[in-house]
Amino acid sequence: MNSSLLNLLMFASRKAFHVFLVQVIAIQFLLANESNSQTLADVKLSFEVKDARLKQVFSELENNTPFRFGYDRKVLKSDVRLTFNENDISVKDILLHVAEKARLRFKRINDQILVLKDDRSFSDRNKIDIIEDRLITGQVTDAQTGESLAGATVQIKGTQLGAIADVNGRFSISIPEDAKTLIVSYIGFQSREIGIGDQTTFDITLAPDLSALSEVVVIGYGVQDKADLTTSIASISPKELKDQPVVGFDQAIVGKIAGVQVVEPSGEPGVGMRIRIRGTSSITAGNDPLYVVDGVPMNTDMQGAGGSIRRPNGRSGYGVETVNALSSVNVNDIESIEILKDASAAAIYGSRGSNGVVLITTRKGSSGEPRVRYNTYVGIQQVSKTIDLLDAYQFAELARDGHNNTYLDAVPTGSVNDDNATRTANGSPSSGLLPDFIMPYLDGQQGLTDTDWQDEIFRAARIQSHNLSVSGGSGKTSYYGSLNFLDQEGVVLNSDYRQFSGRLNLRSEVSDRVTLGFNLNPSQERANRINKGPHWTEGIVALALANSPNFPVFNPDGSYNWDRNGSAIGAVGDTQFLNPVALAEGIKNETNHSRLLGNVYAEIGIIDELNYRISAGFDVNRFTRDYYRPSYLEDRSRPGERSVPDAYSRDDQYQNWVIEHTLSYAKDFGKHSFAAIAGFSSQKEEQRTLEAYATNFPNDLSTTTNSGQIVDAGGTLEEWSLLSYLARVQYNYKGKYLLSAAIRADGSSRFGKNNRWGYFPSVSGGWRISNEGFFNSGTVSDLKLRASFGVTGNFQIPNYASISLISEDNYVDDDGNVVSGLAASTSGNSDLKWEKTKTLDIGLDFGLFEDQLYFELDYYNSNTTDLLLNVPVPGASGFNSALTNIGKVRNRGFEATVSTGTKIGPVEIDASFNFATNQNEVIALGPDNNDIITSVSGGAGYPFITRVGEEIGSYYALQVIGVLTQADIDDGTPIFAGSRPGDIKNTDINNDGEITDDGDRIILGSPFPDYTIGLNSTLRYKNFDFRFALQAVQGFEVNALINRYNYNVEGNFNNVVDVVDRYRSESEPGNGIIPRANRQSKGSLGRPSSWHVEDGSYVRVRNLVFGYTLPKSVLRSVIENARVYFSVQNPFTFTDYRYYNPEVSSTPDSALTGGQDYGNYPLARTFSLGVNLSFK
């Protein structure tokens, strides 16, 4: 069998490949099933064929008898034609006649008959050998999990006799009398030799092979032995994904791969992660990797699906709901994940490879009886952290001090004992007046309202998951099918997520040279969302942190309390807040996502070395979002009014198809191995959007937009296409010298007509030093040096960025009338081209002590050029800016992965450790290298900067150095106008004697870590197992803009409890860090400053699992394997960051404004109990 076909088979399934390979190429094996007592002479039949070739004769016998024939194709290359017309002839007589005419021999073991060429003289021939020796049976299982190993090979040592274990791991062999030893092997596991003796039944366990070289990995458009890799590719097996209560595989791979940072900015159910491979390479284009499932590129252009809600009449809107494009692929269906990290590995994907490529291979079936698995877990979630805030009495004191200091700043002759009437008469601003609601607390009355708003919006939330799968095959057809259900409540009220999904993978060899198959993955998701934004956009978490604990959730009559939104609050200059519980429970914000992902394919073996494959893939998505805000909810700053109900409805549809043709060739020439692939690909996507806004509903009974007055509606239709040619050649000499080169040409509709095509070459090489004759080391068992260089592209830009678009505009005609018309709204750029990334990677792989300790080391230098940036253009053009290729960014770093396995007495230990560092640097920003200074919402100014020599999206703000004292003022310390003792003190960066935003801001950090660490380990003792996963992310900062509210010491928003140690007077300076309370704070508390930037470094125990596999002696006959486990997800996080999650980012898809915290949805800690069952 040629290696190209093997590549395709291995791509389908490692296990299925191993079974098929042994069955077909090892013709010396006779595959034994349970014996049949009938002899060849006993089995008789009517047999009629005319001028039949050998293959037809054997096929007819297989169809009409219980026997199966094994042979090599070369055996059948005979011109012999056979004719039979018998009504009652034995199989023995038929085979005797065939043997004589075609010079063949036959060996039979039970129901299997091996066909061999016979070159002996006729007189010496023993034409049929019937072996009727002792039958032995047994089962082969995984020593770690107890699961059966379908396809394991059991061979009698020193002979050609053997068997392949069936779907339940069971085997049977008729053995000669002198057989002494069994050799048992399975791909990815350590082989064993077992003495036979007088035994007739065997229970055999195999331990995983810890050698890194035993793996077969999926690469772009094929598979390859990991031993032969010359590029940087990381692999994850199903065992590393299991037993975690997660929605998608992205959550399950956190901390498992060096150089791959998986960030979880939100804990909302169903919301996706952010994956960055070797840093951030683009400023304005996307930074997400390409995801390929069973050869089909997934559509990840859906981040904006669901739209943003613009409430009518100027009322606060809601942001875009983040879509998890990866959740439809169920973790239980995954066979392997490979991540192509360097440009040489990813160059075969051309214009989509700059950010890395994630290859997902799903499970396939194998020949044998149906194998059924059921995996389930149920659990309880709780918020992983709460913020220590002031209680009602502490808040009352803060409010008093804040309003008093505002009053005294405005009226220095006033007194803190002045009542509000006196203060008003003295000219106090409204913020200098005291709120009435704090007075009972200041008087010391006990038993007053003291609401913990976090406790009111958070809850213990349930989660459950069920996965049922069946796999198997008969003859030359194999299948895998699954059904999945996930139901997850959110830890915030009225948020939840539910998913139904299925999978059916089918593969059939319809002839010796033609294979057909398909992979189908339908899914349906439904989620109830709550708003995660800042308090002014009705963000539930932000409102819970902001609200005063002095107000209850409900009134005595059970209605919602709205007093914090009352007129009395506005009258004293305080911010009016809505009731977060009312908003969470009252607003409907439901999203639905239907998806059909899959492909159909055909593989044709043209000749033994040359194979053709055609695949038609599709990814069809539909999103709907339905929002309704009922009338009983108040609007902010409109106290006592029933709001006007409003609704929003949106429908997004994405239809993506791809057709690929490839020719693959593989041939061994002695010590030389050569493989090549060439292909053609075409892909197109269509995106449709419809949306409508409605208001003025007569009541809250009907919540659809057609029940109200449509005040705005719209729609879009966009599409893009991609045409590609690809090729790759690979050469291997004696397993020592390895070379690979690839190129892809992509033509995209997204780029300018003058640069529509891009070309992306790569080359890589490896030298296995350990295979050289001069290398002789008892310690170093494997040593390989590799290097690669490649060019990849990034086409994650708007569909029509290169074209000058038109939009509605008004103009004045000759008569002075305003007339509606059309005008160009974008400048267009016909020279717009790809962002290109050139990467050099140098790697060293080596194993010690027979690979029991294995190291993978990489250094990379990646330069992205032709960055797409908006640059100013002359006003005469009619535009302010134009999108142009002018920038450059560099990412370089070091990665190390160490894996080991050992056994200490009865305890088995597997562990892996990874370390990665990446340095991001902006190299160029156009001809003048002008800074890109970026603003954010909420009046926070421009706290982000992208500057040459610095990291993308660095934090840019004033430096706070302590609390101002009277001595500082006397010494002439530069201050903001009006600052007094107890206010914030800043650094005068430019030494001009003033503190200004323009002159004294500095770079204070970025969201990019200095280094990341992952540690994963499994311990097994008899039937018990324990696994833990730990991650550490160090040296990055969070732009905690929420400190502008919850750490501002104003006495308006509730504050973190730290403000108790604030400055009160010269004699009570507090801790010297926190300024005095002031409702109109001075200094830089409201401006972007280091007061808002916090260290985000953390160490997180990601997952703990305790498992127990039940002894087979207690299982019923129908159950093959049973395991129970207890899992804790996110049990501990160690960090100095004061808020919920240091990985937070209010704008996770923006490289320019990453790492902001305005009060996002917190992460959950999940306790779950699960069961893994497999059935015979």
Predicted pLDDT at 1028: 94
Same domain, 198 and 294: no
For the segment 920-935, what is each residue's pLDDT rounded down to a tens digit? 999 999 888 989 888 8
Query: Quick one: which of 85, 83, 101 has its CA closest to 47?
Result: 85
Neighbours of 937 (CB within 10 A): 16
**pLDDT tier at 38, thresholds 50, 70, 90:** low
Identify the CATH number of the domain in which residue 787 sits.
Answer: 2.40.170.20
SS3 for 634-698, per residue? CECCECCCCCCCEEEEEEEEEEEEEEEEEEEEEEEECCEEEEEEEEEEEEEEEEEEEEEEEECCC
Mean pLDDT across 396-419: 96
**pLDDT tier at 656, thresholds 50, 70, 90:** very high
For the segment 145-182, what is each residue's pLDDT rounded down to a tens digit? 777 887 788 888 877 678 888 877 888 887 776 788 88
Determine the length of the chain: 1176
**pLDDT tier at 15, thresholds 50, 70, 90:** very low
Predicted pLDDT at 1149: 80
**Would you say 842 and 858 are in contact if contact means Cβ atoms under 8 Å apart?**
yes
Number of structural domains in the chain: 2
Task: State which of 384-393, 903-912, 1107-1116, 1157-1166 shows the largest mean pLDDT.
Answer: 384-393
Same domain, 704 and 806: yes
Residue 17 has pLDDT above 70, yes or no: no
3-class SS of residue 120: coil
List the beta bridge partners of residue 835.
Answer: 794
Q: How many whole angstroms separate alpha carbon 349 and alpha carbon 365?
A: 28
Among 182, 206, 230, the domain boundary falls at 206
Mean pLDDT across 220-224: 88
Pair of tokens at residue 412: 């220095």
Mean pLDDT across 338-351: 93
Among 206, 230, 262, the domain boundary falls at 206
Minimum mean pLDDT among 4-18, 686-700, 730-744, 867-881: which range?
4-18
Same domain, 336 and 196: no
Predicted pLDDT at 129: 52
Answer whether residue 267 is part of any domain. Answer: no
Answer whether residue 470 is part of any domain. Answer: yes
For the segment 322-332, what is each residue's pLDDT rounded down to a tens digit? 677 788 899 99
Share of the chain above pLDDT 90, in %: 58
Task: State which of 201-210, 827-836, 1163-1172 shows the largest mean pLDDT.
Answer: 1163-1172
Neighbours of 504 (CB within 10 A): 15
**pLDDT tier at 2, thresholds 50, 70, 90:** very low
Same domain, 671 and 787: yes
**pLDDT tier at 963, thresholds 50, 70, 90:** very high
**Would you say 96 and 82 are in contact if contact means Cβ atoms under 8 Å apart?**
no
Same domain, 196 and 301: no
Residue 545 sits at φ, ψ, to 5 deg, of -75, -30
The pairing of beta strand 134-142 with beta strand 201-206: parallel
Minimum mean pLDDT among 170-179, 221-230, 708-717, 1141-1150: which range?
170-179
Predicted pLDDT at 8: 34
Q: How far is CA 921 from the centre of its chain?
A: 25
Answer whether residue 798 is part of any domain. Answer: yes
Mean pLDDT across 1031-1059: 95
For the segment 565-591, what is each residue's pLDDT rounded down to a tens digit? 999 999 999 999 999 999 999 999 999
Same domain, 37 and 172: yes
Mean pLDDT across 776-780: 85
Residue 132 has pLDDT above 80, yes or no: no
Answer whether residue 734 is part of any domain. Answer: yes
For the segment 463-508, what is each residue's pLDDT rounded down to a tens digit? 999 999 999 888 788 999 999 999 999 999 999 999 999 999 999 9
Answer whether residue 65 is part of any domain. Answer: yes
Residue 228 has pLDDT above 90, yes or no: no
Give the chain's mean pLDDT.
87
Predicted pLDDT at 719: 94
| Higher local confidence (pLDDT), 578 or 243 | 578
End-to-end CA distance of the chain: give it in Å, rounded. Answer: 32
Predicted pLDDT at 159: 72
Pair of tokens at residue 546: 């902001």
Mean pLDDT across 386-408: 97
Query: Quick one: which of 225, 219, 228, 211 has its CA closest to 767?
Result: 228
Residue 544 has pLDDT above 60, yes or no: yes
Answer whether residue 17 is part of any domain. Answer: no
Q: How many whole angstroms separate alpha carbon 250 and alpha carbon 933?
A: 32
Residue 139 has pLDDT above 60, yes or no: yes
Residue with tokens 């729609």: 715
**pLDDT tier at 608, thresholds 50, 70, 90:** confident
**pLDDT tier at 388, thresholds 50, 70, 90:** very high
Same domain, 194 and 318: no
Q: How far is CA 682 from the centre of its chain?
A: 26
Answer whether residue 136 is part of any domain. Answer: yes
| Higher local confidence (pLDDT), 4 or 110 | 110
Query: Quick one: which of 441, 436, 401, 398 has its CA closest to 419?
Result: 436
H/E stretch holding 115: strand 112-117
- Give me the DSSP letters along 795-852: --S-TTTTS--EEEEEEE-TTS-EEEEEEE-S---TT---EEEEEEEEEEEEEETTTT
Identify the CATH number of the domain in which residue 187 sits.
Answer: 2.60.40.1120
Among 161, 182, 206, the domain boundary falls at 206
Which amino acid makes up residue 434? L
H/E stretch holding 722: strand 709-733
Predicted pLDDT at 319: 59
Predicted pLDDT at 383: 96
Answer whether residue 900 is part of any domain. Answer: yes
Q: What is the pTM of this model?
A: 0.82
Share of the chain above pLDDT 70, in %: 92
Exposure string of 992-1024, with b = 16+ CB inside 10 Å and e = fewer, is eeebeeeebbeebbbbbbeebbbbbebebeeee
Residue 370 has pLDDT above 90, yes or no: no
3-class SS of residue 910: strand
Predicted pLDDT at 19: 31
* E strand residue ranges, 490-579: 496-509, 514-528
Residue-range definition of the domain harbouring residue 62: 31-206
